[in-house]
């Protein structure tokens, strides 16, 4: 990252960023991964006949990929900073979540459609646009008492979102500031995710499952 890109950060975050990056790189060098399990699951996804089956297999692959990283990540149960940022999911994932909880997803008010040539970079840009359009710090509708109430059915975006620093300092939301975080690189998984569901409708999870006035029962 260009040092100029962190000049806008508060001093404590600006000082932490290079330390966090070094920590993440050191952890990854010493990591003994679970790549073979994830690869087998990706191959199963590629052989699946339906989009829903492909997505389920890729979610399992993401879980296998993340398993060794969880031991070195800052992410812990009860830490919910990332449950207050946009979470891009596909219509297929929304349908799978809805089937698991007995609640049909709603037509999203704001959605995008990606085609067969769309890249993970384009998905990231779309996520950035969604970030700018949503209220700051809006909680996920499935966050209950600081914990994910659909954890077993959580989407790919959540399964691959891992901070490789030692604590949650860089994850804490700062109004008006996009704080960089040394996330685990899930670019390859995201590419498979896009390829598995061409022309997918993508929207924030809050658009598929808007919170009713009486709250959400997940």
What pLDDT does 78 receive?
87
Length of the chain: 218
Orientation angle between helical segments 187-196 and 51-70, nearest 10 degrees: 170
CA distance 91 to 21: 34
> Which pLDDT tens digit goes with each residue over 158-209?
999 999 999 999 999 999 888 999 999 999 999 899 889 988 899 999 999 9
- DSSP 8-state class, residue 34: -
168 Cβ neighbours under 8 A, 6+ residues apart: 74, 76, 79, 81
- DSSP 8-state class, residue 89: E
Mean pLDDT of the chain: 89
What pLDDT does 6 receive?
84
What pLDDT does 36 receive?
84
- DSSP 8-state class, residue 15: H
Kind and range of the H or E element at 187? helix 187-196
What pLDDT does 9 receive?
92
State the residue for tokens 């932490």.
16
Instruction: Measure the N-to-C terminal CA separation of the chain; round to a whole number of Å.
Output: 39
Instruction: Say yes or no to pLDDT of 218 above 50.
Output: no
Q: Is 155 in contact with 87 (CB distance < 8 Å)? A: yes
Kind and range of the H or E element at 98? helix 91-101
> Which pLDDT tens digit goes with each residue over 82-128?
999 989 999 999 999 999 999 999 999 888 887 655 676 776 777 77
| Confidence at 213, pLDDT banded by 50, 70, 90 | very low
Q: Beta partners for 89? A: 203
| Confidence at 8, pLDDT banded by 50, 70, 90 | confident
* Burial classification of residue 97, based on how many CB atoms lie within 10 Å of its CB (0-12 exposed, 13-18 middle, 19 or more buried): buried
């Amino acid at each position: 990252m260009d040092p100029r890109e962190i000049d806008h950060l508060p001093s404590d975050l600006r000082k932490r960023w290079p330390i966090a990056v070094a920590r993440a790189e050191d952890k990854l060098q010493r990591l003994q991964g679970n790549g073979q399990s994830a690869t087998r699951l990706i191959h199963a996804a590629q052989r699946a006949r339906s989009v829903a089956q492909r997505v389920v297999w890729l979610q399992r692959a993401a879980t296998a990929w993340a398993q060794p990283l969880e031991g070195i990540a800052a992410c812990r149960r009860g830490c919910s900073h990332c449950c207050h940022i946009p979470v891009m999911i596909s219509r297929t994932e929304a349908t799978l979540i809805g089937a698991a909880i007995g609640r049909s997803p709603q037509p999203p008010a704001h959605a995008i459609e990606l085609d067969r040539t769309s890249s993970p970079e384009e998905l990231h840009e779309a996520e950035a646009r969604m970030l700018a359009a949503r209220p700051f710090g809006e909680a996920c509708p499935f966050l209950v008492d600081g914990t994910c109430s659909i954890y077993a059915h959580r989407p790919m975006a959540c399964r691959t979102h891992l901070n490789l620093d030692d604590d949650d300092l860089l994850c804490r939301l700062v109004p008006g500031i996009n704080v960089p975080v040394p996330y685990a690189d899930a670019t390859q998984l995201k590419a498979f995710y896009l390829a598995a569901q061409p022309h997918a409708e993508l929207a924030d999870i809050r658009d598929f499952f808007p919170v009713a006035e009486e709250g959400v029962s997940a």
